[in-house]
């Protein structure tokens, strides 16, 4: 369980905080720096490359097991979710787990004309009924690392004709997820995908695309990219690209490199690595008399230890505190030494 990624990473701290923000690979920093310097010098091709954005889209599609035509690029999860929320018919029931991340929930609640319902995560599947139009949830809970029963939720939604929205921000990059099994998935790039902020991804099944309104359509969403600069877009892209935001080129030049690294290492290998580190951390915490949330997840919540975050940080160990939980999140650049260092500080 040595770190993966080799010379791509050189953290100065014991960094167990990817659920807040990832370390970026060296190759990603180089790509961003190169584009910034070229733009400052007067880049003949403009401020960035749509071809590199297409590379990022295609690599993300492969990581998520879908065709690139099913992937839209954007800037943040809340923007993607907002488009889905604005496309729901008035009066629709949207079902959420209690305490899920606000960016998954708030775009629906601010509508004011949707019925929103909240249930415990462990009862999510059984709570889907014939009145449920959409069930929206995070693949891994941000506050404590718990995972939903994907198969049960998917089966219940199919049985009742409900659409599904999965926020994979806390899992994309380490947990294999076939995005085509869900109507919509969203993922912020700056966490386990190792991308710069300003990159995020939306997947849409072909069927679900028909009812999704491209409320922020612009010239980049046209089927022919360079003929829609003036007047209404003649024809929106027939693929999920119709839901694109104009790409932040610095972010996507970096994202293409980060996603390529994940593909080179392999998501299944990263999954095994992260879960093994998390399992070791949980087991040793129990030995110390603590009660971490028990789940097969690469993110570990420890109730009642959130107040130890400051002391850990002072000792060079970076984690998060969330709703009273101490949260450790393990990724490819972590190793056993990181786990043991955190445990030493907590024990001492």
User: pLDDT tens digits, residue range 171-207?
Assistant: 999 999 999 999 999 999 999 999 999 999 999 999 9
Residue 267 confidence (pLDDT) above 90:
yes
Banded pLDDT at 290 (limits 50, 70, 90): very high
pLDDT (average), residues 128-152: 97
pLDDT (average), residues 155-180: 97
Banded pLDDT at 348 (limits 50, 70, 90): confident
Residues 6 or more apart from 282 whose CB is under 8 A from it? 292, 294, 300
Residue 228 confidence (pLDDT) above 90:
no
Banded pLDDT at 45 (limits 50, 70, 90): confident
Q: Give me the pLDDT at residue 1, please.
A: 83
d(CA 250, CA 31): 8
d(CA 216, CA 83): 8
pLDDT (average), residues 288-306: 97
Residue 46 confidence (pLDDT) above 90:
no
Residue 66 confidence (pLDDT) above 90:
yes
pTM: 0.96
Residue 231 confidence (pLDDT) above 90:
yes
Average pLDDT over all residues of the chain: 97
Are the CB atoms for 173 and 270 separated by under 8 Å? yes
d(CA 35, CA 32): 5
Are the CB atoms for 90 and 116 separated by under 8 Å? no
Q: Give me the pLDDT at residue 219, please.
A: 94
Are the CB atoms for 322 and 142 separated by under 8 Å? yes
Are the CB atoms for 87 and 211 separated by under 8 Å? yes
pLDDT exceeding 90 applies to what percent of the chain?
Answer: 97
pLDDT tens-digit readout, 93-113: 999 999 999 999 999 999 999
Residue 303 carries which DSSP code? E
297 in helix, strand or coil? coil
């Amino acid at each position: 369980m040595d770190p993966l990624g080799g010379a791509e990473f050189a953290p100065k701290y014991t960094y167990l905080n990817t659920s807040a923000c990832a370390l970026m690979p060296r190759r990603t920093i180089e790509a961003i720096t190169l584009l910034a310097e070229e733009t400052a010098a007067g880049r003949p091709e403009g401020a960035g490359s749509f071809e590199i954005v297409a590379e990022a889209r295609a690599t993300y599609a492969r990581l998520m097991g879908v065709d690139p035509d099913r992937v839209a690029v954007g800037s943040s999860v809340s923007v993607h979710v907002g488009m889905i929320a604005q496309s729901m018919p008035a009066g629709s029931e949207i079902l959420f787990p209690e305490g899920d991340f606000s960016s998954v929930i708030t775009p629906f609640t601010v509508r004011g004309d949707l019925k929103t319902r909240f249930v415990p995560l462990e009862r999510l599947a059984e709570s889907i009924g014939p009145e449920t139009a959409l069930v929206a949830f995070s693949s891994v809970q941000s506050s404590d690392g718990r995972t939903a029963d994907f198969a049960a939720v998917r089966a219940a939604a199919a049985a009742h004709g409900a659409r599904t929205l999965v926020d994979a921000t806390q899992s994309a990059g380490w947990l294999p997820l076939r995005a085509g099994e869900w109507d919509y998935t969203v993922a912020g790039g700056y966490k386990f995908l190792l991308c710069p902020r300003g990159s995020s991804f939306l997947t849409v099944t072909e069927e679900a695309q028909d009812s999704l309104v491209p409320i922020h359509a612009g010239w980049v969403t046209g089927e022919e990219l360079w003929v829609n600069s003036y007047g209404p877009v003649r024809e929106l892209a027939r693929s999920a690209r119709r839901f694109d935001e104009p790409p932040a080129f610095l972010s996507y030049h970096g994202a293409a490199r980060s996603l390529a690294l994940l593909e080179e290492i392999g998501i299944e290998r990263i999954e095994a690595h992260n879960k093994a580190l998390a399992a070791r951390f949980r087991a040793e915490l129990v030995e110390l008399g603590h009660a971490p949330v028990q789940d097969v997840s690469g993110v570990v919540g420890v109730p009642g230890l959130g107040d130890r975050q400051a002391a850990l940080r002072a000792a060079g160990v970076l984690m998060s505190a969330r709703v009273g939980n101490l949260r450790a999140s393990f990724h490819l650049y972590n190793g056993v030494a990181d786990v043991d260092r955190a445990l030493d500080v907590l024990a001492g």
